[in-house]
Structure 1
Amino acid sequence: MGDPHRVGIVGLGFISQAYLDTLRSHPAVRITAVADLDPTRSAAVAAELPGAEAVSVEHLLGGDVDTVLNLTIPAAHAEIALRAIDAGKNVFVEKPLAVTFPDGREIIDRAAAAGVQVGCAPDTVLGTGTQTARAAIDRGLIGRPLSASAVMVTPGHELWHPNPDFYYTAGGGPLLDMGPYYITALVHLLGPVRAVVGAASRLRTERVIGSGARTGQRIPVEVDSHVSGVLEHVNGALSTITTSFDGVATTAAPIEVHGELGTLAVPDPNHFDGESRFFPLGGTEWRSLPSNAGYTGAGRGIGLLDLVTAAGQRAPRAGGELALHVLETMTALLRAADEGRRIELTTTAERPSPVPLTSVAELGG
Structure 2
Amino acid sequence: MKPVGIGIIGCGNISAAYLKAARSFPILDIRALSDARPEAAEARAAEFGGVARSVAEILADPEIEIVLNLTIPAAHVDVGLQIIEAGKHAYSEKPLGIDYRDARRLSDAAAAKGLRLGSAPDTFLGGAHQAARAFVDAGHLGQPIGGTAFFMCPGHERWHPDPGFYYKRGGGPMLDMGPYYITDLVNLLGPVARVAGLSPEPRRARTIASEPKKGETIEVEVPTHVAGAIQFANGAVVTMAMSFDVAAHRHLPLEIYGTEGSLVVPDPNYFGGEVSFRAKGDTDWSPVEVTLPYADGNHRSLGLADMAAAIRADRPHRASGELALHVLEVMEAFGRSSETGRFVEIETAPGRPAPLSADAPLDRL
Question: Which TM-score applies when normalising by structure 2?
Answer: 0.96
**Does the 8 Å CA contact 2:306/2:362 hold for their aligned counterparts?**
no
The superposition leaves residues 291-322 of structure 1 with CA deviations (integer Å, 9 ceiling, x where unpaired) of 03453445101000011112344311101100
> C-alpha separation between the residues in 2 aligned to 1:335 and 1:59?
40
**Match status 1:92 vs 2:109:** no
**1:148 partner SS:** strand
Q: Which residue does 1:332 correspond to in 2?
A: 333
8 Å CA contact 1:295–1:355 kept in 2: the answer is: no
Q: Does the 8 A contact of 2:24 with 2:363 survive in 1?
A: no
Q: Distance in 1 between matches of 2:223 and 2:25?
A: 40
Aligned to 1:142: 141
SS of residue paired to 1:31:
strand
Contact 2:202-2:220 within 8 A present in 1 as well: no
Match of 1:151 in 2: 150
Match in the other structure for 1:192? 191
| Matched position secondary structure for 1:132 | helix
Match of 2:363 among 348, 358, 361: 361
- 1:309 is aligned to 309
**Does the aligned pair in 2 maintain the 1:292–1:356 contact within 8 Å?**
no
CA distance in 2, matches of 1:253, 1:327: 23
The whole-number CA distance in structure 1 between the counterparts of 2:159 and 2:241 is: 22
From 27, 41, 51, give the equivalent of 1:53: 51
CA distance in 2, matches of 1:62, 1:83: 11
293 and 25 in structure 1: CA distance in 2 versus 1, 3 angstrom threshold = closer
Kindly indicate whether the alpha-carbon contact (under 8 Å) linking 1:24 and 1:31 is maintained by their aligned counterparts in 2: no
Q: Determine the structure 2 residue equivalent to 1:41.
A: 40
Pairing 1:65-84 to 2, within 5 Å after superposition: 65-84=64-83
Shift in Å at residue 141 of structure 1?
1.0
Whether 2:162 is the aligned partner of 1:160: answer no
Question: Percent of pairs identical after alignment?
Answer: 46
Which residue is equivalent to 2:61? 63
Q: How much does 1:203 deviate?
A: 3.9
Give the total of aligned pairs.
Answer: 361
The alpha-carbon deviation at position 21 of structure 1 amounts to: 0.7
Structure 2: gaps of 5 or more residues: none
CA distance in 2, matches of 1:19, 1:321: 22
Q: CA deviation at 1:62?
A: 1.9
Residues of 2 paired with 1:336 and 1:76: CA distance?
Answer: 26
Alpha carbons 2:124, 2:184 under 8 Å: kept:
yes
Q: Shift of the alpha carbon at 1:361?
A: 2.1
Displacement, 1:150? 0.2
Instruction: Write the deviation string for residues 240-279 of structure 1: whole angstroms up to 9, x where unpaired.
Output: 1100000022211101000001000000000000000101
CA distance in 1, matches of 2:351, 2:24: 32
Letter paired with 1:290? E
Equivalent residue number for residue 321 of structure 1? 322
Deviation at 1:11, TM superposition (A): 0.5
Whole-angstrom CA distance in 1 between matches of 2:295 and 2:281: 33
Task: Return the offset for 1:130.
Answer: 1.2
Give the aligned partner of residue 282 of structure 2.
Answer: 283
Q: Is the 8 Å Cα contact of residues 163 and 208 (structure 2) preserved in structure 1?
A: yes
**1 CA distance for matches of 2:48 and 2:177?**
30
Q: Which residue of 2 aligns with 1:344?
A: 345
- One-letter code of the match for 1:211? S
Alignment RMSD (CA, Å): 1.4
| CA distance in structure 2 between the partners assigned to 1:156 and 1:347 by the alignment | 31
State the Cα distance separating 1:221 from its structure 2 match.
Answer: 0.7
- Distance of 1:24 and 1:226 partners within structure 2: 37
**8 Å contact from structure 2 (residues 20, 48) kept in 1:** no
Task: Determine the structure 2 residue equivalent to 1:15.
Answer: 14
Tell me if the contact between 2:273 and 2:295 (Cα under 8 Å) persists in the aligned partners.
Answer: no
Task: Specify the code of the residue in structure 2 equivalent to 1:109.
Answer: D
1:117-266 alignment, distance < 5 Å: 117-266=116-265
Query: Secondary structure at 2:199's aligned position in 1?
Result: strand
Larger mean Cα displacement after TM superposition, 87-96 or 204-213: 204-213
**Cα distance, 1:202 vs structure 2:** 3.4
Question: 2-side partners of 1:5 and 1:300: how far apart?
Answer: 17
SS at match of 2:174: helix
Contact 1:128–1:292 (Cα < 8 Å) also in 2: yes
1:154–1:246: 8 Å Cα contact kept in structure 2? yes
- TM-score for the superposition, normalised by structure 1: 0.96
CA distance in 1, matches of 2:153, 2:48: 35
1:24 deviates by 3.4
Letter of the 1:322 partner, please give it: L
Aligned counterparts of 2:175 and 2:24: Cα–Cα separation in 1: 31
In 2, are the aligned partners of 1:192 and 1:348 still within 8 Å (CA)? yes
In structure 1, list runs of 5 or more residues that go unmatched: none
CA distance in structure 2 between the aligned counterparts of 1:106 and 1:198, rounded to whole angstroms: 25
Q: 1:68 to 1:193 in 2, by over 3 A?
A: same
